[in-house]
Amino acid sequence: MTRDRFLHILSFLHFADNSQRPDEGEEHDRLWKLRTVFDKLNEVIVKFNGRVIFRQCIPMKRKCFSIKIYKFCDETGYTYDMRVYLGTDSYSATEEMTATHLTVRHLTSRVEGLGHKIFIDDFFSSPRLFDDLDRCKINSCGAVQPNRKDMPCDFGPKQLKLKRGDLRVRIRGGLMALVWKDGREVYMLTKMEPPPAEGNFCDDSKRPVKPHIVEQYNWHMGYVDNSDHMANSYSMS
């Protein structure tokens, strides 16, 4: 196919039946024009300068105007599932289940009951989410924010007053919460690691020794970056 023909087809590319357009004012899927093809392809969407209500502005990113996508990827960079942030997630939240909790449950629905291990960043992690995933036979590990609901009440930096290299652990059932002090406090939750010993751990040069759970988390959280790299390496052009 010639370039000009490709661009001509692209200018008329259309995926939705406009006769099925939702009425103005009624609640509807904001991605309705692309929903069918999006669900079939599950490809990544990157920088976007068009006009949609759910476009995000993230000043610290190079592509500051973009569409935010939550992704669930494996170690090869394969995307199992993803979800576009449409600005309506908070409406579906409940007292028992936050919007981020619902997002993770949606993304992991394809692997329930299979015993997979997943690694989650602190935007999503919470004790309630990890307990919920455990009931679905999904093992979880992730960084977490210390002010999340049901986190240990004595885990704040003012209560612990940790020195560099200090490690503290709390356990409830099969869930472990850990805080480790490096340059700053690092908070972790896991359902897949045995509890380490508490204390101060530094090497011969007085540098803090990184706990195994932190090393594992840093290694596995690169899967989404690998997926993004692969998608950006094979652009339309």
Asked if residue 168 lies in contact with residue 151, where contact means CB atoms within 8 angstroms, the answer is no
Mean pLDDT across the chain: 81
Our measurement of the distance from residue 50's CA atom to the centroid of its chain's CA atoms, rounded to an integer in Å, reads: 25
Phi and psi of 67, rounded to 5°?
A: -105, 125
Question: How many beta carbons lie within 10 A of that of residue 70, not counting itself?
Answer: 18
Which pLDDT score, from 0 to 100, does residue 64 have?
60
For the chain, the structural domain boundaries read 99-233
Interval 58-84 mean pLDDT: 75
> In angstroms, rounded to a whole number, what is the distance separating the alpha carbons of residues 43 and 21?
24
173 compared with 56, residue with greater pLDDT: 173
- 85-99, 117-131, 135-149: which has the minimum mean pLDDT? 85-99
Task: Please give the structure tokens belonging to residue 126.
Answer: 């919470």
> In angstroms, rounded to a whole number, what is the distance separating the alpha carbons of residues 168 and 177?
8
Give pTM, 2 decimals: 0.68
- 17-21, 34-38, 104-108, 134-138: which has the minimum mean pLDDT? 34-38
* pLDDT at 233 exceeding the cut of 60: yes
Phi and psi of 82, rounded to 5°?
A: -155, 165
Tens digit of each residue's pLDDT (9 = 90 or more) over 174-199: 899 999 888 788 899 998 888 888 88
> In angstroms, rounded to a whole number, what is the distance separating the alpha carbons of residues 163 and 202?
11
> In angstroms, rounded to a whole number, what is the distance separating the alpha carbons of residues 39 and 197?
46
Tens digit of each residue's pLDDT (9 = 90 or more) over 126-183: 999 999 999 999 999 999 988 888 888 888 767 778 888 888 999 998 899 999 888 7
Which pLDDT score, from 0 to 100, does residue 43 have?
53
Task: Give first-to-last CA distance, the chain, whole Å.
Answer: 14
